[in-house]
Structures are given as structure tokens and as C-alpha cells.
A and B are shown apart, each in its own frame.
Chain A
Amino acid sequence: MQTQVAVLTLLLVISTISAYLIMDGKANFRLKLLAIILFSGVVIFYIRIGFGRYFTTIDESYYVSLLGDSLWYKTSIVSGYITPFSLHLVYSFSSDVIGIVVRYSIVVAVLYILILFFAYQRNGVSKNHALLAILLLFITPLYWWSVIQIRPQQIGVLVGLILAVLIVTGRPTFRFFVGVLILYVALIFAHVLSFILYSAVFVMYLALLILWENKPRENAKKYLTVAVSIIVSWIVFVTFPYSSNLFKNMTWIANNVLNLQMSVQTFYVASTFVMEMFLAIVYLMAKYFSSHNPINLDSLKVPLLKLVDAEVNVFRRYLLWIVVGVAVLVVFYVQFELGAQIYTRVYNNSTAAVVFFQMGNLFFALFFLRGFFMKIRENTMTDFDILSVLWIPIGVALLIISFFMPKGSSIWGFHNWLVRTLQYFVVFASPIVAYSIMGDITPKNSVRMRSMLSLLLGILIIISVLNTIRIPGIYNYDTIWTPELVNVCQESPVSAIYTPRVERSVYYTFAMNNLLKVCGGYLKDPNSKSPTYLILSSDQLYVYIPDYRPIGLGAFENSLQDVGGIAWIIAGGNRDEVGEYALSLLGNAVPVPVEKDGDSCPLSPDRIGYPTVLVGGKAVNPCTLRLVEEHVVPVYLDSYSVRTPTGMYSVSHADAWWNVEDGLFVIQAVEYYNTPVLIIEGTNVDATLAAVYYFVEEVYPNLFLKYQNTKYIVGKWEEDDDTVIDVAKLTSQDTNGFSPGDKITILETG
């Protein structure tokens, strides 16, 4: 406790000094920038490892877990590619996962400050103003959450910010077009949501420029540049071979929100079409109104000026601030209500805690509104300021959409996307917030005012940091990694199986499992059957070594010789004919019956001795399912695809399940209690039969010579002779299916 107080006191002193330095007009801006970078780095470090645990979040732990998957871009749903790619790049130099996470977020925090400084300056604010704006971002947890979480949005915000600078300050030349296009493609690959949100803001902004400014031709060119870039980058992303997983997710959301039943292909076409139509209609409307019924901006300003002019009427000023205050509170209340279940848990059901830890956000909102009114009154609104205002309708729209969003799971929810928008908003709004504070600093009152302001900002920054770090005791937040977990994870054997000894929340368990995946292991339900080698026990975890390990197919023959050529066959599925066909081909084999319900795999240390052949995939064979669940097979197969350690293969979806013309199969082996277990499975029954046939005809006679050390064979069966063996006839209408005359192609061995 004393350490915590000491750390917080030091941080308060540093943040107050930083604020004072920055508000001092005479100090060198490089020193100020250095001070702000130092402070930011320490805060990120504190959030990361403060309170004796490693801070993470749901999203971040998911993206960190992808480090354990070399084929993440093919197998996982990601909302952007730059972040997981960068993480993998760093991971190739160091295997210290926690070190990578901590250092990565500190580096990004520094990058944020440099890019923000560049962006604010390019948009016409002074160096002091820009630095103060950056410092003021520290008072809102929305900024820290955006900066610290290693997820695609982290980079998406920055790429979009650079794009915003180019769009606002650039002239519509060919270089402008190329720059915008490149940045747009970078943006969509950085983060798709950022792409959508930034596009909405830019389209609104450029449409307003066409309406208001007296440079319609130049602004129309800018609009068209952005519109073309949006469509081109969207098409590039749609045609990107690995984006289909994300599009499946987007289609699911769109179907839920709009109550449709679109296929992914329909979504591709519909989304592109709607996007093109929307961009064209907005452009044509803006052009039409600018030439036929131009809006006089001054006519809009007059009522706003009247509203905010404090000198005119004191009563009106108080009324205005009461209305503003109530509006801000209403927004906070709605925010809270949307995530009430989560917030009540996180804040330990304490209203006082909610209010206290939202102080930074409240002050940021009030300073923003004050600055906004000042800018209206003083006619100093910049294009960048307009962008910040445009984030507000985007946020409101997403807030409304949030009510129609599918609920998702307990981990992944779509409860409140306004918060997401606010994380973009604060980055654009901060110069206005700084503007409102700079108005209070004059040469006459400088020392006292600066001291007071510095202290206030210092306190708000500490509150904001405490909000982000989710201090234990006040917050009920356990999306964390404990040092014990990190130690056990990093020092346990690869492919270990972990079982928690104490029950924790789903959030802790999710984050824990994600870290364990990076270490090559996985978390197993403590209630399920455990392996028989418990290698490690710590306070929180048991670590098991799997009973199975991949072996070469040749071991099957060696073992077969030991037991007089007899093998067990465990065939899954409701159709005994498949098992019988396998039996007829495999000759001297003994069928082992499988119960139809429950975990009925008959493999156990008490009942193993003969080399065993499992026929059928995880959907039909409980033993195959067990091997898949224990993550011990090198190759994984589902209805339409096969995943090997180095690649993925897929076949097209069949119109009718009984009428297939191709399929993939896998032949692989694992060892279980010194006994080889051969797994023969296919994406459908015909492919499975083809695999059995191929094994008997080609592999088995050459096990010793050709397949001694081969751990798996992946092949493709294709209908070639329009003949179907009887057991492969699933219905009387079945005209396609396996027969020995069909084409079998081997895709990969390993």
C-alpha cells in the first residue's frame, strides 16, 4: 500500500510538473515534448505492470494469442492486419511475450505523441497549443484505452489521423490522390472499423465543404479522390484472400441488425453497391445545393453566436451551462445504462466510484464545450475542429445502432459502440479543449493560474490513469495476467495442458487461455478427464503433458508386427457399413464398438494394446474428437477444410450433403501409451472411404520404405468415373461418391 501511495505521489508530481512546463510559454518546446513523452512512457509502464499483475484487455489478449498461431491470417477473425503482423514481426526476435506487450505499447504511446504533435501542428495550431492538447488527452481514460490496447484500432486511429491531415491540408493534385489512396488502403488493412468511421467523417466534412466554401471545384476534386479511394480500398480488401473470416462476421452483424439472411457473397456485392450509391448521392446532393441553393454559413453562425454570447445576458449564460451540464450527464447516464451490467461489476456497484473515476471525462467534455463556444464566438473554428464536431453525430448514430446490435457472447459483445467513437473523438477534440484552457492563461495571472491549472490537470490525469489501470479493491477487473501465470506459461513444455486450480471469472479465464496459447498450450476444463502425467503444480495451475504425441506412420507397422498383425478399428458414425468397408480392406482387424452417446471413446490406458485405427472425423468418431480437443494431432479437419502446420486447403460447399464430388482427407498418427493410433478421416464420408482405400492400397504396403517418418498425409478425392460403391451410397439419389476408380491427389505430407 505504501508503495502504491509513493508511486501515485510521484506520478502526480511528474504530471503537475509536465503540465506546468507545457503551460510555460518560454520553455523550449523540445524539452516539453521530451517531458510529455517521458511521462507517457512511465504511465503506460505503470498501467501495464502496476499492482503486481500484468494489465491486459479482452481484445488485446485475443490479438496476443495469435502469436501462438503462425497461420493467424487464414484462421482467425481479425479486424485489421497491421497490428497482428507487427506483433508477429517483433515476436520473431524475442519470445518474451510479456516483454513484447509492455515494450510495444510504450513504443506506440511515443508514436502517438509524435504523430499527434505533427497532426495538430499541420492543422495550424502553435507548438504550445499542440503540446497542451496532447497533455489534455491524458485526463481522459478514453485516450489511454486507445493507446495502450494492442489491437487494430490502436494503429487505425493513427493512420486515420494522418489521412485527416492530408485531406484537410492537401491540395487536390495527383500526388494528393496517390497519397490519399495509399493511406486509405493502409487504413482498411490497419482497422476496418476505423476505415468505416473515418470515411463517414471525411464524406460529411467534404460534403459540407462543397456546400459552404467558395472553392467548389477544388472541394469536389477532394471529395471524388476520397470517394474513389474508399471504393478502391474496399474492393482491394474484399478481394484480399484472407479477409473472408472478417466478412463472415460482418455479414452476421448486418443480418442481425437489418433482419436479413444475406450470404457473404451477397454482402460483398451489396456493401460495395450501397457504398457507391451513398457516395454518389451525397456528392450529387452537395453539388446540387451548392449551385442551386447555397447555404450561407454566416446565417448559421448568428443563432449560435447569440446562444453562446455570455456578455449579452447572464441569465442566458447560466441557462446554457445548465442545459450543457444536464446534456453531458444524460450522455454519461445512457452510456452507463448501456453497459450497466458490466460497469456495476467493474465498479463494485459503487456510484461514487463511477462519478469519481469519470472526472477526467467530465472535465474533458466541459472544457470541450466551453472551447467550442469560445471558438464560435471568436470565429476561430478550424477544419480540424469541424472534424471533431462531426464525430458527435457518428457517435450518436452508433449509439442508436447499439440498441439493435446482436448481444454477442459474454466475452464479445456489441453493447456500446459510442465508446469506440469517443476514442477517436478525443484525439480530434483535444485542440479545442486546449483552446479553452489557453484562454485562462494570461501574462498577468500566469504563475498562480498555471500552478492551479497544473495541479488540477495533474489530479485529473492521475484519476484517469487509475481509471484505466482498474485499481484492485475499487475495481472488480481481472482481465489480467498474474506473474505466476506468466512464469508457469513460459517455463512449461510446449503443448502442455493447463487446468486452473481455482475458479476465476470468464474474463480472467479468457485472458489466461489466450496467453497459454502463445506458450503452445491450452486451457482444459477442470471437470473433464485429465491426462495421466501431471508434470507441474503451482498455486493456480496444474500442468499436464498430453497422453498422445504425433508419430510417424511407420510406427504402426512396427507395432502391428509385435501383436501378430491384428489392429483395432474404431469407426465412428451411425452407418456401420463404413466401418465394415474399412474392416474389409484392413483385413486382420478387430472392430471395437463405440457407444453412441457421451465421451464414449474406448481408448484408455486400461484398454490399449493393439495398434488402433480411428476411422471418421471429430463429428462422428468420439476418439477423433478427443484427439482434436486435446490439440495433439498435427492436422485439423472440418467439413470443408483441412489445416496443416504449414497451410490450409478447402473444398467447395456441396449443394446436398449426400451429393458430393470431391473431398479432402487426412491420414495421420499419434502415439498413446506406446501404441500407435492411426487416424483416417475425411471432410465427408466419400473422402473418408477414399482415405481408407488409399491407406490400404498405397500407404500400408510402403509404410516401412516410404512413410516411416511421415506424420501426416493430406489428400483430395475427386469423383472421376461416375461410379459409387454401395457403402458410399448415402441415399437412393446418390449418384456421386467414392469408388476405387476415382482420382486421388496427395496435397501435402509432413
Chain B
Amino acid sequence: MKWEHYLLAIMVILVIGSIVLINSQRAPGFSKVYFDSTTVPAYLTPNTTYSIVFIIESHEKGPEEYSFKIYLNDMVIKDGNISLNPGSMAQVSFEFFIENVTYRRVVLWEQTTTYNLSGIYDITGNYMRWGGILIVNDSYGSRLLEHLPPSYAGPSNLSFLMNTSKNVTVTKIVENRSNTSTVVKEYQLMLLKLGEDRYRVIVKESKIMYLPESLTIRVVVETSNGKVYQIFKRLPLAEG
């Protein structure tokens, strides 16, 4: 062996020592809090028990104390404390149950139309039946029978006879239910007699959706040295 071989051997040892030391240099510690996404539902239905898991992961330099609180909207449903060593993690599961659904009213579309009518017998549409009298609207044009009270066909296929001596309000509601919402179409008709063969007709049409109020699950974790982590998920509610 020559001297330079020994020198190289020393160098290799020093190189390995350097690599070990470089690797031992640690950055400031950190922690992670996260949901186990496989346990988080896309939406909730009433009268069902849900179990969600969240995880606390410690990458701190030493043992760390964690306290946690779990909120359903603003209400605490579970709390606790956990101790973790560096590089370890804890899974925390919690359960909750939704009994009642509250709804939020969302107006999708609404329109109010006012008609001032006088001496009008104009009826469109194919036919309508009223008090045993048939009004026909065919290829020969509108055939209106004499001595009929004033009549009118308005938007949305609403037809009515204006033979009234007092004010009238008619409301029609059509409801469409789906998994996640209820859609209501409201037709409101107000007839006001202004004088002989003179009427004011107000037609209110609206489409309103009733959406179940969503809920928010929130987890707040605090370490003993004051670091705070929070995770949350807003969960839409579906009708059961």
C-alpha cells in the first residue's frame, strides 16, 4: 500500500462522516392535521350516523401535546388530548347524527305581470271548460259564445273568466322534489274588478328552491406551544 491509498481511505471515512452529519441536520419541526378523506361523506342525510376520522401527524423535534375540539357548526361534539412522539401519528374518529333538516329558500326566478283589461273576450289556447260551457279555439279562429262573461288567457296557460263582482286570488303550487332540493313553482293570480267590464289582473309567477341547510364539520387542534391547526368540510344535506 502506498501512502496515498491510506490518505484516500481517510478521505472516504470523512466523506461518509460528512454525509451522516449532513443528513442529521434537521429543519424546524412541524405538525400536520388532516382528514382521512375516505371517511368524509360527499353529503349527509338525516337519521344516519356518520363516523369521520382525522389524523394528527407529528414531525416535531420532541414529544408534543395536542388538544383537539370537534365542532358541528358551532357546537362542540367531541374534544380530547393526545401526546405524540416525533415521527408518530394518531387517528381520531368521531361520530355524529343529523335529526332535523332546516331549509333555505332560494328564489330562482320570479316575475310579476299586471294587465289592465276592459271588454276583453280574448281566449287563446285550444279549449277550456268553465261551468259546463266549452270554448273552442280551432282552425276557424276563436269561436266565442255570446253572453259569456269576459274571459282571458294569460301566460303560463292560466285562463280565467272575469265574471266576478269581487276581488279574487288564485294560487297554484307545483312541487318538484329531488335528492338534494325541492323546487316549487308558484302561480298567483289576483283579479281586481275596477268597473263594468274593466279588470286589473296581476299574475305573479315564481320558482323557488328549498335547499337543505349544509353543515360544517370543523376540527381545531392546538399544540402545547400554541400552534393551531384547523381543518373543516362543509357538507350539503340531502333529504332523507
Interface of B is mostly: mixed
Write out, one digit per residue, whether chain B residues 181-196 have a CB within 8 A of any chain A CB (1) or not (0): 1010000000000000
Binds B, one of A21-29, A111-119, A362-370, A679-687: A21-29
Known A532-B234, A538-B32, A674-B43; judge A564-B176 contact (CB<8 A).
yes
CA A288 – CA B230 in complex, angstroms? 78
Asked if B109 and A10 make an inter-chain contact with CB atoms under 8 angstroms apart, the answer reads no
Residues 192-240 (chain B) with a chain A CB within 8 angstroms: 207, 209, 211, 214, 216, 221, 227, 229-234, 236, 238
Asked if B229 and A538 make an inter-chain contact with CB atoms under 8 angstroms apart, the answer reads yes
Asked if A483 and B207 make an inter-chain contact with CB atoms under 8 angstroms apart, the answer reads no
Binds B, one of A32-40, A132-140, A229-237, A352-360: A32-40
Asked if A3 and B25 make an inter-chain contact with CB atoms under 8 angstroms apart, the answer reads yes
Total count of chain B residues near the partner, CB < 8 A: 57
Which 5 pairs show the lowest CB-CB distances between chains A and B?
A52-B27, A536-B34, A532-B234, A562-B178, A537-B229
Asked if B18 and A7 make an inter-chain contact with CB atoms under 8 angstroms apart, the answer reads yes
Closest A residue to B17 by CB, please name it.
Answer: A10
Kindly list chain B residues whose C-beta atoms are within 8 Å of the C-beta of A13: 14
Interface residues on A, range: 35 or more
Kindly list chain A residues whose C-beta atoms are within 8 Å of the C-beta of B5: 31
Beyond A482-B27, A483-B59, A674-B43, list 13 extra A-B contacts (CB 8 Å).
A17-B14, A21-B8, A38-B11, A42-B15, A52-B27, A483-B30, A535-B233, A538-B229, A539-B227, A563-B183, A590-B109, A607-B106, A673-B236
Kindly list chain A residues whose C-beta atoms are within 8 Å of the C-beta of B42: 674
Binds B, one of A43-51, A143-151, A315-323, A380-388: A43-51
Kindly list chain B residues whose C-beta atoms are within 8 Å of the C-beta of A3: 21, 24-25
Residues 38-67 (chain B) with a chain A CB within 8 angstroms: 40, 42-43, 59
Asked if B181 and A605 make an inter-chain contact with CB atoms under 8 angstroms apart, the answer reads no
Kindly list chain B residues whose C-beta atoms are within 8 Å of the C-beta of A488: 32
Could you say which of A51, A538, A562, A563 contacts B25, with CB atoms under 8 Å apart? A51
| A106 smallest CB distance to B (angstroms) | 11
Kindly list chain A residues whose C-beta atoms are within 8 Å of the C-beta of B17: 10
Kindly list chain A residues whose C-beta atoms are within 8 Å of the C-beta of B232: 532-534
Q: Flag whether A577 is at the interface (Cβ < 8 A).
A: no
Residues 579-637 (chain A) with a chain B CB within 8 angstroms: 590, 605-607, 609-610
Could you say which of A11, A20, A24, A543 contacts B18, with CB atoms under 8 Å apart? A11
Could you say which of B18, B25, B30 contacts A540, with CB atoms under 8 Å apart? B30
Asked if A538 and B7 make an inter-chain contact with CB atoms under 8 angstroms apart, the answer reads no
| B10 smallest CB distance to A (angstroms) | 7
Asked if B234 and A545 make an inter-chain contact with CB atoms under 8 angstroms apart, the answer reads no
Asked if B21 and A6 make an inter-chain contact with CB atoms under 8 angstroms apart, the answer reads yes
Kindly list chain A residues whose C-beta atoms are within 8 Å of the C-beta of B22: 7, 42, 45-46, 49-50
Asked if B15 and A534 make an inter-chain contact with CB atoms under 8 angstroms apart, the answer reads no
Q: Flag whether B157 is at the interface (Cβ < 8 A).
A: no
Known A52-B25, A534-B230, A534-B232; judge A609-B106 contact (CB<8 A).
yes
Asked if B207 and A566 make an inter-chain contact with CB atoms under 8 angstroms apart, the answer reads yes
Known A53-B27, A538-B31; judge A42-B231 contact (CB<8 A).
no
Asked if B234 and A24 make an inter-chain contact with CB atoms under 8 angstroms apart, the answer reads no
Asked if B34 and A484 make an inter-chain contact with CB atoms under 8 angstroms apart, the answer reads no
Asked if A17 and B7 make an inter-chain contact with CB atoms under 8 angstroms apart, the answer reads yes
Known A7-B22, A484-B27, A535-B35; judge A605-B236 contact (CB<8 A).
yes
Asked if A609 and B8 make an inter-chain contact with CB atoms under 8 angstroms apart, the answer reads no
Residues 667-685 (chain A) with a chain B CB within 8 angstroms: 673-675
Could you say which of B4, B176, B216, B231 contacts A535, with CB atoms under 8 Å apart? B231
| A6 smallest CB distance to B (angstroms) | 5
Could you say which of B26, B106, B209, B211 contacts A52, with CB atoms under 8 Å apart? B26
Looking at A3, A18, A533, the one whose CB has the most chain B CB atoms below 10 A away is A533
Residues 543-590 (chain A) with a chain B CB within 8 angstroms: 543, 545, 562-564, 566, 568, 590
| B239 smallest CB distance to A (angstroms) | 12
Q: Flag whether B124 is at the interface (Cβ < 8 A).
A: no
Asked if B37 and A493 make an inter-chain contact with CB atoms under 8 angstroms apart, the answer reads yes
| B183 smallest CB distance to A (angstroms) | 6
Interface of A is mostly: helix
Q: Flag whether B33 is at the interface (Cβ < 8 A).
A: yes
Asked if B18 and A14 make an inter-chain contact with CB atoms under 8 angstroms apart, the answer reads yes
Could you say which of B12, B19, B181, B221 contacts A609, with CB atoms under 8 Å apart? B181
7 A-B pairs with C-beta separation under 8 A: A42-B18, A52-B25, A487-B32, A536-B33, A564-B176, A673-B236, A674-B42
Kindly list chain B residues whose C-beta atoms are within 8 Å of the C-beta of A445: none
Known A14-B18, A31-B4, A566-B183; judge A532-B11 contact (CB<8 A).
no
Known A3-B25, A493-B37, A563-B176; judge A24-B4 contact (CB<8 A).
yes
Asked if B180 and A605 make an inter-chain contact with CB atoms under 8 angstroms apart, the answer reads no
Q: Flag whether B23 is at the interface (Cβ < 8 A).
A: yes
Kindly list chain B residues whose C-beta atoms are within 8 Å of the C-beta of A532: 216, 232-234
Kindly list chain B residues whose C-beta atoms are within 8 Å of the C-beta of A49: 22-23, 25
Residues 426-452 (chain A) with a chain B CB within 8 angstroms: none
CA A590 – CA B176 in complex, angstroms? 16
Q: Flag whether B77 is at the interface (Cβ < 8 A).
A: no
Could you say which of A534, A538, A609 contacts B180, with CB atoms under 8 Å apart? A609
Q: Flag whether A4 is at the interface (Cβ < 8 A).
A: yes
Kindly list chain A residues whose C-beta atoms are within 8 Å of the C-beta of B59: 483-484, 487
Q: Flag whether B104 is at the interface (Cβ < 8 A).
A: yes
Closest A residue to B234 by CB, please name it.
Answer: A532
| B168 smallest CB distance to A (angstroms) | 28
Asked if A42 and B8 make an inter-chain contact with CB atoms under 8 angstroms apart, the answer reads no
Residues 360-414 (chain A) with a chain B CB within 8 angstroms: none
| A538 smallest CB distance to B (angstroms) | 5
Asked if A537 and B230 make an inter-chain contact with CB atoms under 8 angstroms apart, the answer reads yes
Asked if A533 and B233 make an inter-chain contact with CB atoms under 8 angstroms apart, the answer reads yes
Q: Flag whether B131 is at the interface (Cβ < 8 A).
A: no
Kindly list chain A residues whose C-beta atoms are within 8 Å of the C-beta of B183: 563-564, 566, 609-610
Asked if B180 and A539 make an inter-chain contact with CB atoms under 8 angstroms apart, the answer reads no
Asked if B8 and A590 make an inter-chain contact with CB atoms under 8 angstroms apart, the answer reads no
Kindly list chain A residues whose C-beta atoms are within 8 Å of the C-beta of B178: 562-563
Closest B residue to A532 by CB, please name it.
Answer: B234
Closest A residue to B18 by CB, please name it.
Answer: A10
Known A14-B14, A605-B234; judge A539-B31 contact (CB<8 A).
yes
Residues 448-487 (chain A) with a chain B CB within 8 angstroms: 482-484, 487
Closest B residue to A535 by CB, please name it.
Answer: B35
CA A3 – CA B23 in complex, angstroms? 10
| A588 smallest CB distance to B (angstroms) | 11
Asked if B18 and A606 make an inter-chain contact with CB atoms under 8 angstroms apart, the answer reads no
Asked if B231 and A537 make an inter-chain contact with CB atoms under 8 angstroms apart, the answer reads yes
Q: Flag whether B28 is at the interface (Cβ < 8 A).
A: yes
CA A3 – CA B24 in complex, angstroms? 8
Kindly list chain A residues whose C-beta atoms are within 8 Å of the C-beta of B18: 7, 10-11, 14, 42, 46
| A40 smallest CB distance to B (angstroms) | 11
CA A675 – CA B178 in complex, angstroms? 12
CA A18 – CA B24 in complex, angstroms? 24
CA A140 – CA B81 in complex, angstroms? 53
CA A50 – CA B27 in complex, angstroms? 10
Looking at B21, B31, B108, B236, the one whose CB has the most chain A CB atoms below 10 A away is B21
Kindly list chain A residues whose C-beta atoms are within 8 Å of the C-beta of B236: 605, 673-674
CA A545 – CA B38 in complex, angstroms? 13
Q: Flag whether B179 is at the interface (Cβ < 8 A).
A: yes
CA A610 – CA B181 in complex, angstroms? 9
Closest B residue to A52 by CB, please name it.
Answer: B27
Asked if A14 and B15 make an inter-chain contact with CB atoms under 8 angstroms apart, the answer reads yes
Asked if A537 and B34 make an inter-chain contact with CB atoms under 8 angstroms apart, the answer reads yes
Asked if B4 and A27 make an inter-chain contact with CB atoms under 8 angstroms apart, the answer reads yes
Kindly list chain B residues whose C-beta atoms are within 8 Å of the C-beta of A484: 27, 30, 59
Kindly list chain A residues whose C-beta atoms are within 8 Å of the C-beta of B231: 534-537
| A576 smallest CB distance to B (angstroms) | 17
| B197 smallest CB distance to A (angstroms) | 36
CA A487 – CA B4 in complex, angstroms? 43
Kindly list chain B residues whose C-beta atoms are within 8 Å of the C-beta of A562: 176, 178-179
